[in-house]
Chain A
Amino acid sequence: MSNTTQLLRFITAGSVDDGKSTLIGRLLHDSKSIFEDQFSAIARTSEKRGMAAVDLSLLTDGLQAEREQGITIDVAYRYFATPRRKFIIGDTPGHEQYTRNMVTAASTANLAIILIDARKGVLTQTRRHSYLASLLGVPHVVLAVNKMDMVDYSQARFDQIIAEYSSFAAQLGLHDVHCIPLSALNGDMVVNRGANLGWYGGPALLELLETVEIDHDVNTSDFRFPVQWVCRVHGSDFGSDITRQSGLVSTETVGEYANGFRGFAGRIEAGEVSVGDEVTVLPSGRTTRVKEIVTYDGTLQTAFAPQSVTITLADEIDISRGDMIVRTSAHPPKVDKEFEGTLCWLSESPLDKNRKYLVKHTTRTAKCLFSRLDFRVDVNTLEQHAAERLNMNDIARVAIKTQQPLVFDSYGTDRATGSFIVIDEATNNTVAAGMIA
């Protein structure tokens, strides 16, 4: 593994019937990411169940409850690597009632593989998965047309499916869609190209995963730095063993911190920042300059998303967790107590409009109210319906009021500063996920 290997997070959406588990099993098996003890365990199970060949789909069966019931109940994360990239797979069940699992896995994904059975073509669930991928802002979509072996590897059938899908994808605003014909069962066009799809000139699935451009998925233009933690050291503690270990403070610079160190620790969620840049602290609106960008490995001239750093500022300004430091620019984030967004309800107890909830957005948590339910979206037809209440897996356009102002961008501009979760204070459960309009 070279030290410049990148990380790609992707999800797989589809049902067991589409051969999703087989596809993941095939990807892991043919990229030599399955270990002998894992393989012998599934070989034993396959034999016990009276199967003729080793069932690769068993690799993704996790918990006892799932094996007993033959279902997948939750998101499982799997890891594999090739010499070109490291991969994290968020494996989500395709069942209708598990919309929330796909939303969860999609929230951190760079790419979504949407699986289609070549015999069945574009189905309701294909539309649902594609809609959720677009709603969660997954930057790249792969339409994997599986079971090509069942349609005689027909190019005409493949072309027919992608023609149907393309108009739908455009309607959803999915820009970067790749369509690949494959057979997970036989291993055609997954890792190896196989001998049956000679008419297809594009990349096999793994090659695409290894090469899809992800650098530009990060919003590099506007600096956004939610303050996570204020790092304080008293002046008298400088020069102690601990401050020396950090590499931050050498004997010559201890004097600089005679009055103590106060840095703002956090992760850069978007953009970049350099020493000397003028920054604005929100919501207060005070401005100052970046004095230093501190890390354990020394100070930086420039830092960028998604680095975790500690920033010191030229002026003493009152800043605490939940504030956001941004570069003073023509594109400031909004600061408001009211906003609109799309909500995905995740809890078994329905939304109660009369109740207050908590919203956690970046590093700030505030009480909130749902002041309006505009409409509910039918994830299968994309039709809008009047919304009286929201149940688990419902997606709706809402208006929200918060007790304190939030500092936000639209989700389309920035996933990190445009997203929030809703917490029920009574149970402390996470009950909804939201994307700011």
Chain B
Amino acid sequence: MKLVENIVNRHTLTHLDALESESIHIMREVAAECRNPALLFSGGKDSIVMLRLAEKAFRPAKFPFPLVHIDTEHNFPEVIACRDKLAKDLGERLIVRSLEDSIRRGSIVVKDPDKPRNPYQSVTPLETIAEFGFDACMGGARRDEEKARAKERIFSFRDEFGQWDPKNQRPELWDTYNTRVHAGENIRVFPISNWTEMDIWEYIGREKLYIPNIYFAHEREVIRRGGSVIPVSHLVQPKAGEKVEVLSVRFRTVGDMTCTAPVESVARTVDEIIEETATTRITERGATRMDDQTSDASMELRKKEGYF
């Protein structure tokens, strides 16, 4: 067996090692205590970090849970390709459920098929949880992303309607997590709650993780609309009077193609992204997510409805 050199001072963990150990501990608590857990995996950078943490928590055994993706079908093709490649490389089971399934079923009624689908994002997760009887879903949300998330527990209890009640959260002390739910209820678990955007990039660099290439700077056709730069795609076409420009951009988050804006960037490597992240003056979601900007409480309201 190969032997790892002790690279840190004795009895001192670096911040990344401390965060990693905490996340592994959380995932193992889920695996040990929950009856039927799942790990949400989208192919985005945070969930790719989650996969590596799951490998660290459970190898040499298989993951004691499937990977689940809720597909809006508005995703970037590069992200979906990465999702499929990573699941296959790991040899783990991937379950994909799509908003289209809910639309066909009639549980989602979409007014305009090309508009952002985030408003409907709460329905399909709840249907998927019901279909498989999951009692715990692990997600890659971080507290530094948004102020509603900053107040959410690591083990976040949801009632039988999948709803989050911020005023009535279970106290969470030490690292002793209460994982208990009644039938029909579930918990959302956020093992990387305490990671920041910078930690994610440092970890991607350290672990040499494979991520979709749209996170790196590339030339892309965009239009400027309402103060944001929007990528041109089959879902977003220029309206009369809008000019298509080609800019060097990268994505800081990858969500629904119709409402995820890239940032102008020339960072083509993880190190260059880390450098940009260290000097940026705009928050991750502030720069890139039009869906969070409709009101000061958009995320809080969506979470109360059952969004992750």
Contact = CB atoms under 8 A, between A and B. Distances in A.
Contacts of A301: 3, 6
Contacts of B278: 1
A38 B283 CA distance: 8
Interface in B19-76: 19-22, 24-25, 28-29, 31-32, 55-62
A360 interface: yes
B167 interface: yes
Interface stretch (B94-102, B111-119, B120-128, B142-150): B142-150
A228 B29 contact: yes
A77 B143 contact: yes
Contacts of A229: 28, 31-32, 58
A103 B61 CA distance: 37
Contact of A433 (B173, B175, B196): B173
A304 B148 contact: no
A228 B148 contact: no
Nearest to A241: B91
Contacts of A63: 147-148, 151, 166, 297, 300
Contacts of A304: 10-11
Q: Which of A4, A360, A415 has the most CB of B within 10 A?
A: A4
Contact of A421 (B10, B22, B62, B173): B173
Contact of A78 (B15, B150, B286): B150
A390 B22 CA distance: 33
B25 A250 contact: no
Q: Which secondary structure dominates chain A's binding surface?
A: mixed
A428 B25 contact: no
Given A74-B151, A103-B173, A242-B91, A35 B282 contact: yes
Contact of A247 (B2, B171, B172, B176): B2
A22 to B, nearest CB: 17
A300 B17 CA distance: 15
B1 A250 contact: yes
A65 B166 contact: yes
B147 to A, nearest CB: 5
B198 A73 contact: no
A298 B199 CA distance: 23
B63 to A, nearest CB: 9
Contact of A261 (B60, B178, B300): B60
A200 interface: no
A73 B178 contact: no
Interface string A409-437: 00000011001110100001110010000
Contact of A300 (B4, B25, B59, B286): B4
Contacts of B14: 3-6
A306 B174 contact: no
Interface stretch (A146-154, A280-288, A289-297, A380-388): A289-297
A108 B170 contact: no
Contact of A306 (B18, B32, B180): B18
A346 B171 contact: yes
B206 interface: yes
Interface string A75-115: 11111010001101000000000001001100110000000
Contact of B60 (A38, A79, A215, A242): A242
A64 interface: yes
A295 to B, nearest CB: 7
A388 B278 CA distance: 55
Contacts of A349: none
Interface string B203-224: 0001000000000000000000
A246 to B, nearest CB: 3
Contact of A308 (B2, B57, B62, B198): B57
A36 interface: yes
B110 interface: no
Contacts of A124: none
B196 A419 contact: no
Given A6-B14, A215-B11, A306-B13, A298 B55 contact: no
A79 B196 contact: yes
Given A63-B147, A104-B172, A38 B194 contact: no
Contacts of B25: 228, 267, 308
Given A228-B32, A248-B1, A76 B169 contact: no
A363 interface: yes
A215 B10 CA distance: 9
Given A3-B14, A36-B281, A430 B172 contact: yes
Contacts of B1: 248-250, 253, 292, 298-299
B61 A232 contact: yes
B87 to A, nearest CB: 13
Contact of B194 (A88, A266, A363): A88
A170 interface: no
Given A35-B280, A228-B28, A1 B56 contact: no
Nearest to A39: B281
B19 A3 contact: no
Contacts of A5: 14-15
A64 B300 contact: yes
A1 B55 contact: no
A297 B4 contact: yes
B58 A231 contact: yes
Nearest to B24: A308
B90 A428 contact: no
A62 interface: yes
A348 to B, nearest CB: 10
23 contacts: A4-B9, A5-B14, A7-B19, A37-B287, A38-B286, A67-B296, A73-B166, A74-B167, A76-B151, A77-B194, A86-B15, A86-B196, A88-B194, A103-B171, A229-B31, A232-B61, A238-B60, A245-B90, A265-B28, A267-B21, A267-B25, A298-B3, A363-B32
Given A86-B199, A306-B13, 12 more contacts: A6-B14, A35-B280, A229-B32, A242-B59, A248-B60, A272-B11, A297-B4, A301-B6, A307-B17, A360-B178, A416-B175, A433-B171
Interface of A: 1, 3-7, 35-38, 41, 61-65, 67, 73-79, 81, 85-86, 88, 100, 103-104, 107-108, 215, 218, 220, 228-229, 231-233, 238, 240-243, 245-250, 253, 261, 265-267, 272, 292, 294-302, 304-308, 321, 346, 360-363, 415-416, 419-421, 423, 428-430, 433
